Structure 1
Amino acid sequence: MLLIGCDLTTNHSKEPNKLGELYVTTITDASDWSTKPKFLAITRSSFDEVDETTKEWVLAKLNNEYENVHILEEVKDDEDKFEFKKIRGKEVIVKVNNGMIIDVEIEQYSESEARVRVAAKRGINVGIIPEYEAVYNDGEWQLDKKVQAEI
């Protein structure tokens, strides 16, 4: 059998792992706080806790929910997606056009419980930062929003 483009050290299961499901569940909940964004720009550091296969699964799953899902660092200079302003001599994103910047922090994780913080921003001073306690029950993550700070 000839395998082309296949890394045998990588798990190519089509089934998501629980951590990947947790990402999708919390990102979807946090990003739907206002009108549904057309695109998500997720920080690269959000995926520090997962392997490449899980990251790609999360991005594909979210792409089914939103028109486009990107890694922020790959699109951060796109003037169609973001408005910029020079602040203290540095160009910064001040507004996200029809989209949202997402940053995920896994504060605690086990196979059955997790604590997650998600920053969901539409601009420099517009967004929310919910913190979730999550319990894995009956094949899905059930979220309990503990705190929700508004930016």
Structure 2
Amino acid sequence: MKRRLFIGLIIMTAVITGLLAGCSSAEENANNEGNKVFDQKVSADERKRMDLYLAVMEGAFREENGGNGFIAVKLDTLAGLGDEAKSEVLNKLKSLSENVYGFDKDKIDNSHFEVDADGRLIRTLDGSLLWVEIKEYDEDKAKITGVSWFGNTGAVFPSYEAVFTGGKWQLNLISMAIS
């Protein structure tokens, strides 16, 4: 009888210990879920696209630009990227200029752009407007043009064939338009 009671107590202790070790508060679970979501805000495909877009826009900027006082980026051209990934693109472009922001054609900053009487852009004031034009995109191949615009008579349009190998995009310049 004592032996059964002793074995019963050991089993109950093991069960209670196991239950307590496996339990966590709802608040703790919510915090852990938030961390998972934060870590996964930028997917692997988005990261791959980001790397391509950055390489192409940086290439266009280095080819020719209107100065490094600012860089405005047409975010609507960054297909396949969510808001978090677009924000990361802007942050990474700060290697070219400390002042990088998303361009909004409805809210043109007159300290950065000269506009005509109809509100159309004429030129930048010590900066560049960057964007990409995707011709084709497959998982590991792309045909894409980068644009560094700094005026109606000042822009470069390098077009690339890109191949993703070894974890990086390899860009092959296929044409260059200059205005």
Q: TM-score of the superposition, structure 2-length normalised? A: 0.71
Number of aligned residues: 147
Shift of 1:70: 1.1
Which one of 121, 137, 161 corresponds to residue 133 of structure 1? 161
Shift of 1:137: 1.7
The answer to which structure has the higher helix fraction is: 2
Matches within 5 A, 1:27-42: 27-34=57-64, 37-42=68-73
Whichever of the two has the greater Rg, that structure is 2
Q: Equivalent residue of 2:68, what SS?
A: coil
Q: Which runs of 5+ in 1 are unaligned?
A: none
Shift of 1:74: 7.0
Task: Provide, for residues 117-147 of structure 1, a one-character-per-residue CA deviation record: whole Å limited to 9, x for no partner.
Answer: 1221111121111111011122211111111
The answer to which structure has the higher strand fraction is: 1
Structure 1 residues 119 and 148 mapped into 2: Cα distance closer, same or farther (>3 Å)? same
User: Who is 1:148 aligned against?
Assistant: 176
| AA aligned opposite 2:149 | K
User: Who is 2:11 aligned against?
Assistant: none
Contact 1:49 1:106 survives alignment (8 Å): no
Shift of 1:65: 3.1
| AA aligned opposite 2:111 | D
Q: TM-score of the superposition, structure 1-length normalised? A: 0.83
Q: Equivalent residue of 1:61, what SS?
A: helix
Which ranges of 4 or more aligned residues in structure 1 deviate by more than 3 Å? 6-10, 12-16
Give the % identical residues.
Answer: 25
Which one of 14, 19, 22 corresponds to residue 52 of structure 2? 22
